[in-house]
Structure 1
Amino acid sequence: MQSIIDWVVHLMEVLGAPGVGIAILLENLFPPIPSEVVLPLAGFTVSQGSLNFVAVFVWSVVGSVVGAYMLYGIGAWLGAERLRRIAHWMWLVRASDVDASLDFFRKYGRVSVFFGRLIPGIRSLISIPAGLDRMNLVTFGLWTTLGSAIWNFLLVTLGFYLGENWHLVEDYVNTYSNVVYVILILLIVGFLAFFIRREVQERREGLAPADSADTTK
């Protein structure tokens, strides 16, 4: 973690506020670079008079949105059809599960993108299903910008007011993250139990999966 801190400090020293934007862009693509370290550190630097708060905030949002669009592009490249083919040969998962997930995202996509930007570990990944679903680019950008702005403003502000104790923000975020991760694990276990139960029931009834021969849906 110290090496990440040193690297971020170097970026800010050389590039100023745009360096924060670059760090946050990379944070979207490489999770080992945590925003809960980069942004509070930037806020602390602002409190020392080395950077401007507004510039740091704006560049951080720009970095978040650009990174999100890059991940959106990965999802769009992968595409629903390719994902269906992958699901076809995976154990327990059906191509119809992909369709059900996309239907859910079409219904709740805007809310998912917005709140996803407020959840560590999900902040970046939420852009991929948006790309898979080919969510309207403007709509995606607006909700991503709004969610990112709230998250970034909060962390930069905390770093500003905590001063030399800016590193405490990471502890707060980690506690929040742990609660979220427990909920996610429970959801994953629930889905896994559903898939296993479905597989067992189909084998018991001697039924072939409804979409086993359909990979072009």
Structure 2
Amino acid sequence: MNSQHFSERLLASDGWVTVWESSDDTSYEAAQQVLIRSALVTPEKARALALALQTAPSYMAFRIPNADDSEYQFDTPGFQLTGWIAVPDGREGQDNRDPLAGGVRYPPYRPVEEFVGLLGLEPDADMREWARADGLALRSTVWDDTAATSSDRVTGTEGQRLEIRCDALQEVLSLTGRSMIVEVMIDRTHKDHNEPYSVRYDQDDDESLPPPRERSYKIYLFDDSGRCGEL
């Protein structure tokens, strides 16, 4: 893997940025999990935080907070790290018994009310699309195309993803005076290995991490002009 594998998961070719994702893609031979997390951070401290996260000895030493994560959000003089995405608790509720639900959970990932008001957003009934006067600003995708095989394995793809249009993201950052820090994590597992196989973003495909193997991750920063920098 190289940096392109990570940036392709973050930046869509049609001008959208993924700000939160959890997805799994499983075949008979291998599996891949992708996690994307984002939060807003004080611009003056953003690069130092990004460097600290990218060089941390383990991804388990930190996490990018969602809006309800009080443990990893910070609000101190000179440094704020703010979660802005609401993440459901994972329970399917009544949808679990709905044969038409197809394993898709509700509600999806979504911006918290502060940012809904800030951008003047109006969601549709299912909270899949968030629009304003100049068009669609955020979109949420939830899918489950998995199926059980004869060997009791589950193959296919499932997940949730929340994306924001680039110009809407720039407006969020400009209005709040923040930068956005994003973590993209990719975890790959092969059936011939008991442990996940992962490489850091700057390693070649034939290189492997010494035990214990861990997920690979890469940190990105967006400033209030909408520019994206990678660490």
Normalising by structure 1, we get a TM-score of: 0.23
Larger Rg: 1
Select the structure that is richer in strand.
Answer: 2
Select the structure that is richer in helix.
Answer: 1
Normalising by structure 2, we get a TM-score of: 0.22
